Amino acid sequence: MATFNAQDGTKIYFKDWGKGKPVLFSHGWPLDADMWDSQMNFLAQRGYRAIAFDRRGFGRSDQPWEGYDYDTFASDINDLIEHLDLREITLVGFSMGGGDVARYIGRYGSERVSALALLGAVTPIFIKTDDHPEGVDKSVFDDIKVGLLKDRAQFISDFSTPFYGLNKGQSVSDGVKAQTLNIALLASLKGTVECVTAFSETDFRADIAKIDVPTLVIHGSGDQVVPFEATGRLAASTIKNARLKVYENAPHGFAVTHQQQLNDDLLAFLTSH
């Protein structure tokens, strides 16, 4: 099993498929690298090197008690990039993973990065604040943490409905729902809860301002988890020369519901720069 050691000794799992220009994927909450299997397989078959890791506390990575903050997540990505000596990378971040890759550029620059894709991402800021009134109220995130601590398995099971838009005309198989729950339950409870605080309260606006590589922003207009108007639209309007693609009525989990469309769009973006 391929792993590397982060700065604090945490062992982090990654998968590395194919050969060619590298594409590094950062997953969403509460998932792991397996959420990217379709995209990785598709791109690796077309001459790219697809790499994805399990965030600390999730999947097959170690479950440390501390380190569930975006400076640490960005440091972990930097450690992986240096471990594999990657260059000319396209970074792809979904949901909370969009924060990882934005903070990576904010802290480490874009010397090794050639492009960026933010998919349903929590950037530039998720939570409602005085200067971000369109954000999501803190009480929503507080309720999520209460639900996780009370009955994580049932909470995640129920969470599949808005995540995949099952209450808004979308559909996924029973297998997908089972896999989503199984992946989520591999994670540390501590990490799962603390990441809610991290992805909801972290302000990425300073990181977004430092992005100087071609950027693709994809968001579903029907996203009930990370609302487009509060996040993706603002990111696309802030990042210089960003391309915005809105998937009409698509839910947060469009990597599944709009799998082929996403695969095709990522490939088109990769071949355009």
- The greatest distance separating any two alpha carbons of the chain, rounded to the nearest whole angstrom, comes to 47
Residue of 26, 61, 95, 160 marked active site: 95
Residue of 16, 223, 258, 265 marked active site: 223
Q: Tokens 């950062």 appear where?
A: 26
252 catalytic, yes or no? yes
With H, G, I as helix, E, B as strand and everything else as coil, classify residue 218: strand
Q: Say how far apart CA 169 and CA 187 lie, in whole Å.
A: 29
8 catalytic, yes or no? no
Relative to beta strand 3-5, strand 11-17 is antiparallel
Q: Two tokens at 110?
A: 């874009």
DSSP state of 245: E
Residue of 26, 32, 76, 252 marked active site: 252
Q: Say how far apart CA 267 and CA 205 lie, in whole Å.
A: 28
Q: Two tokens at 40?
A: 């990785």
223 catalytic, yes or no? yes
**CA dist 2 to 40, 44, 179, Å?**
16, 17, 22
Q: Two tokens at 47?
A: 């001459």
| Half-sphere exposure in the Cβ direction for 167 (13 Å, CA) | 10
**CA dist 148 to 30, 46, 85, 159, 163, Å?**
11, 40, 38, 11, 16
Specify whether the CB–CB gap between 57 and 63 falls below 8 A. yes
Query: 3-state SS of 51-105?
Result: EEECCCCCCCCCCCCCCCCHHHHHHHHHHHHHHHCCCCEEEEEECHHHHHHHHHH
Residues marked active site are found at: 95, 223, 252
